[in-house]
Amino acid sequence: MIARLLPALALALGLVAALPAAAQFGGPVSGTPTNPVPATATADELELQKALTGGRIAGRISIPDERAASLIQPEGREWREFRTTVLSWVGGIAVLGMLGIVTLFYLGKGRIPIDGGKAGHSIQRFNVLERGAHWMTAGSFVVLALSGLNLTFGRFLILPLIGPESFAALSLWGKFAHNFLAFPFALGVVLLFLLWVKDNIPNRLDIAWFKAGGGLVGHGHPEAGRFNGGQKMVFWITVLGGALVAASGFVLLFPFWFTDIAGMQVAYIVHALLAVLMIAAMIGHIYIGSAGMEGAFDAMGSGQVDLNWAKQHHGRWVEEETRKARGAAAPRGARAQGAD
Ligand code: HEM
């Protein structure tokens, strides 16, 4: 309680100390209340009381921007409290928790292999447009995530390691990157939605997939179409989470264009909380798409995956592609390439 009151007390004392001599005689100055009270000790006490009981302190200003007259507003303290405590805890637990889970999973289960080894034949999984959209979204997300985490944790984790000058330069460039990469990220989210929404509508197969633990825990590989239940979750987290994080980010990027200070504080809370949760989810996704599963990365690397990998994880999709290829005069999609 005392710790929460101290900043307000200090600020109020600072204000009193900064009052020019004229104020001592009751003259109007900027920084005094809009309904000026005699500048006596009683008025200062009233001011202080207002600050301590959560009231606003507004001033009279001569510049056109009326918003600059608001010196203190109580929601600002709640926002700061959120930023310094709630966000740090939620973000820290989510990100470190997911890193811990992924590490334990790797140590306990190792890399998920292709059953029976590689077939030596491949099938096209993602075309160049899909891979381009994925990497544009993923690349910008990674930089946005790192520069965003630096805003929240950098002062405690990085500043002591590299010193104030390097930290200032890093944070400045990080902030530029954070502002500009918001655009390719948002575009990527829209593209991924348009490209993949038809394959990501939840169905009964997904329920069975989740019941079987996705084949990650226990034994056996549950049936799946082009995307399994877990991947559909990743898709909707990317699309819905990404859209909300981007929208709330744009509200902050263009101050007062869309809303007032109270609205921007809500946008900040939505933006920061969803972003740290999304970062945690993406750590799991990145692990499975690279080190965690043999053959998975090829889908987003060359676009071609080994046939045995495809059958193991997306059996229904392979059947569909094979049917399509047989039915078509010029077979597309599934093609044998031979071992190389
Ligand atoms: C940066 C490292 C990343 C790697 C190595 C990676 C890898 C992959 C791979 C291999 C796939 C295809 C999986 C399959 O064939 O079934 C995939 C799909 C996908 N990725 Fe990523 N990814 C990364 C980052 C991201 C990020 C940051 C996002 C979103 C912000 C994202 C969103 C998606 C989505 C929505 C899919 C389709 C659903 C799924 O397969 O889970 N990826 N990724």
- Ligand 1 center to 8 CA (angstroms): 47
- Ligand 1 center to 297 CA (angstroms): 9
Which residue has a Cα nearest atom 2 of ligand 1? 286
Distance CA 121, CA 337 (A): 5
The pLDDT value recorded for residue 214 is 83
Question: Which residue's structure tokens are 């655009």?
Answer: 183
- Ligand 1 center to 286 CA (angstroms): 7
Which atom of ligand 1 has the smallest separation from the CA of 239? 35
- Ligand 1 center to 289 CA (angstroms): 6
- Ligand 1 center to 139 CA (angstroms): 11
**Ligand 1 pocket check: which of 240, 300, 311 to mutate, most ligand atoms within 8 Å of Cβ?**
300
The pLDDT value recorded for residue 40 is 52
Domain map (residue ranges) of the chain: 2-72, 75-327
What are the pLDDT tens digits along the chain (340 aa)?
334 434 443 433 333 333 333 333 233 333 334 444 444 556 766 666 566 555 667 778 888 888 788 777 777 888 889 999 999 999 999 999 999 999 999 999 899 999 989 999 999 999 999 999 999 999 999 999 999 999 999 999 999 999 999 999 999 999 999 999 999 999 999 999 999 999 999 999 999 999 988 877 766 678 899 999 999 999 999 999 999 999 999 999 999 999 988 899 999 999 999 999 999 999 999 999 999 999 999 999 999 999 999 999 999 999 999 999 888 755 455 444 433 3
Helix (H) / strand (E) containing 207: helix 204-211
The pLDDT value recorded for residue 79 is 87
**Does the C-beta of 238 come closer than 6 Å to ligand 1?**
yes
The pLDDT value recorded for residue 54 is 58
For 75-327, CATH number out of 1.10.3720.10, 1.10.10.10, 1.20.950.20, 3.40.50.720 equals: 1.20.950.20
Q: How many residues does the chain have?
A: 340
Question: Which residue's structure tokens are 């094979």?
Answer: 322
Distance CA 306, CA 124 (A): 9
Q: How far is CA 322 from CA 123, 227, 303, 335, in A?
A: 10, 17, 17, 9
**Does the C-beta of 137 come closer than 6 Å to ligand 1?**
yes
The pLDDT value recorded for residue 249 is 98
The pLDDT value recorded for residue 137 is 98
Record the tokens describing residue 212, joined without a space.
């079987």
